[in-house]
Amino acid sequence: MKILCMLCAILPLAVACFPPVDRSSDDMVINHGDVDIASESDARIAAGAALTVYLEHASVGGNIWAGLEDLEAGNARYDNGNILFYNRGNPGAKNKFDDFYRRVTLAADPNYRNPADYDVMMTKLCYIDNNYDGFASVTEMYTYYRDMMNSLESAYPDTVFVWWTIPIMEDGNAARDQYNTLIREYCVQNDKYLFDIADIECHDPDGNHLTNGGLETMDGSYSDDGGHLNATGRSRVASAFWALLVRIAE
């Protein structure tokens, strides 16, 4: 009886000290508050590094990969050996979505990526996709992406599909902001993993939100040409990418 009473007293404390991970919280959104990866423990980084990851991208994705390489060169704990970045170029927004869907679902595709081989899969647009190529409007582009991602999540429940906002530039753009707002709202309301690259880019190192005429703008220290990431920018985004993996591995 004494043992039972002791357990009854201890268990609530254990639950309080080690609460279950709440996947409906803001922890599923990676943004400018998640760029300090150096403070993460080696054990948590190792758990993130153990995930098999696939990302389709173009030039900004190449910048992010360079940032991941920089991190690993500086500290071996950032081992990116399980991360595959595939540069599919810039064939237009709709073609990018279709390319990703085909590679994930069609075994006959020469570049087929079997979801069974990956813990995490994702595709990203580029800042040039504010022209919503292949669609009649930004809303139509968002809806197409939303439905594709939901379809993949339903078909492959053992794989985490991460959603992305569109990267931004130093000049604000209404179409990018509209798309990113739709993505953010949907992901928060429906418990989706979101890598909010736009939010990471539009906050300066001190956490100030940068806008021009109400439109989000990239901090000028993150880019040398107004859009692509320089060494500072790629380090920031790559660090947040590691935060994403750590969060998923929890």
Q: Mind listing the pLDDT tens digit for each residue in 90-111?
A: 999 999 999 999 999 999 999 9
How far, in Å, CA of 61 to CA of 55, rounded?
8
Can you spell out the DSSP letters for 109-149?
Answer: STT---GGG-SEEEE---GGGGG-TTSSSHHHHHHHHHHHH
> What per-residue confidence (pLDDT) applies to 25?
55
pTM, full prediction: 0.90
> What per-residue confidence (pLDDT) applies to 42?
99
How far, in Å, CA of 226 to CA of 223, rounded?
5
How far, in Å, CA of 125 to CA of 163, rounded?
10
The three-class DSSP label of residue 150 is: helix
Domains within the chain, CATH numbers bracketed: 24-249 (3.40.50.1110)
> What per-residue confidence (pLDDT) applies to 26?
77
The three-class DSSP label of residue 183 is: helix
* Residue stretches of the chain with pLDDT short of 50: 1-24
